[in-house]
Amino acid sequence: MSARPDDGVGAAPEQAPEGPETVGDTRGHPPGGGSREVGTSISLTLRIRRYNPEVGDQPWWGEYTIEAEPTDRLLDALHHVKWYRDGTLALRRSCAHGICGSDAMLINGRNALACKVLVKEVAPKVTVEPIRGLPVLKDLIVDMEPFFAGYRKVLPFLVNEDDPPDRERLQSPEERERFDDTTKCILCAACTTSCPIFWGDGDYIGPAAIVNAHRFIFDSRDQAAKERLDILAEKSGVFRCRTTFNCTEACPRGIKVTKAIQEVKRAIMFDKL
Ligand code: SF4
Ligand code: F3S
Ligand code: FES
C-alpha cells in the first residue's frame, strides 16, 4: 500500500480516449441510458488529483471540462468524467444523498461530500483531491482502515449487562438530548481528515472516534463510559486535540465536533459525566 505521494505532481500517464462530447445522464445512472437535452447547462472544469500505483508512483492532475446543469451535484460531474471521459477514474460513493458518508473529498481545499455540493457552487472550475492523512489507494479512494480502527477502539455500541426489561430501556427527553448531536455521525471521516493533529500524528484517535464515543458515554442506558474514558485518556486520545475547530467546520452533518471533544475532556478531568 502506498502512502500519498505529496511531493510534486507529475505528468499524466496515457489515459483512456475521451468519450462522447454530449452531456450524458449524470444523475447516478450508468452510461448507456442515453443523453438528455439540456437548456441551461454551464461549463465546469474539474481538476482532479489522480494517482494510480499501477501506472506510476507520482500523482498527477487530470483536467476535464464538461457541460452540466447548475443544480447537478459535483458527484454527477465526477460520474460524467468517469463514464464519458476516463473510465479509470476511481472514487467511492453509494447513496448520492448525504447519508452513507462514502464520498468525502477535498473540494477546493475543504472537506465536503461530493453529493452535497452543487455544480453552480463551484463552477467554472473546481479542484478535487482525496481526503488527507490516510493512504491513497487510487485517485480519490483512500484506505479507511486506520480511521475505522480508531472508531472500533472506543466501543461504538451500547453496553448494558442488566437483564433486558419487559419494555424498552426508558430515557427522558433530557437524557436523550445529552447526546442527540453526536447520533448524527455518518462516519464520512471529513472531520478526522481535516484535523492537523491527525495529519501529523497517525496515532491520534481523531475527532470522529471521539464523537462516536461521546454518543455512548453520555447515554444514560450505557454502562461502559468509564472504559471509553480510560481509552480516550490515553496518549493517542482526546488530549491530543488542540481545539483547532477544523473538524467542526468540516462536518457535513453540522455536528458540534469540538464541543463534543471538550465535553469528553471535561468528563475525564473531573471524573464526572
Ligand atoms: Fe463525518 Fe461529522 Fe461524523 Fe466526522 S462527525 S465522521 S465529519 S459526520
Ligand atoms: Fe483537530 Fe478538531 Fe481538535 S480539528 S485539533 S480534533 S478541534
Ligand atoms: Fe453517500 Fe455522498 S454518496 S454521502
Spell out the domain ranges in the chain. Answer: 42-142, 145-270
Instruction: Say which residues have a Cβ less than 8 Å from residue 54's Cβ, sequence separation at least 6.
Output: none
CATH tag for 42-142 (out of 3.40.50.10680, 3.10.20.30, 1.10.10.10, 3.30.360.10): 3.10.20.30
Architecture of domain 145-270: Orthogonal Bundle (1.10)
The number of the ligand 1 atom at minimal distance from the alpha carbon of 189 is 6
The number of the ligand 2 atom at minimal distance from the alpha carbon of 196 is 1
Walking along the chain (273 residues) 10 residues at a time, the average pLDDT comes out as: 39 43 42 52 98 97 98 98 98 98 98 98 98 98 97 98 92 98 98 97 93 98 98 97 98 98 98 87
Alpha carbon separation from 252 to 42, 165, 179, 207, 268 (Å, rounded) = 26, 36, 18, 14, 28
Question: Ligand 3, atom 4: nearest CA belongs to which residue?
Answer: 98
pTM for this predicted structure: 0.88
pLDDT at res. 207: 98
Q: Is 252 in the pocket of ligand 3 (CB under 6 A)?
A: no
pLDDT at res. 89: 98
Q: How far apart are CA 229 and CA 217, in angstroms?
A: 8
Q: Given the C-alpha cell 448525504, which residue does it identify?
A: 98
| Contact (CB, 8 A) for 84 and 20 | yes
Ligand 1 centroid – CA 156 distance (Å): 14
Ligand 3 centroid – CA 114 distance (Å): 7
Ligand 1 centroid – CA 182 distance (Å): 9
Ligand 2 centroid – CA 244 distance (Å): 5
| Contact (CB, 8 A) for 139 and 7 | no
pLDDT at res. 39: 65
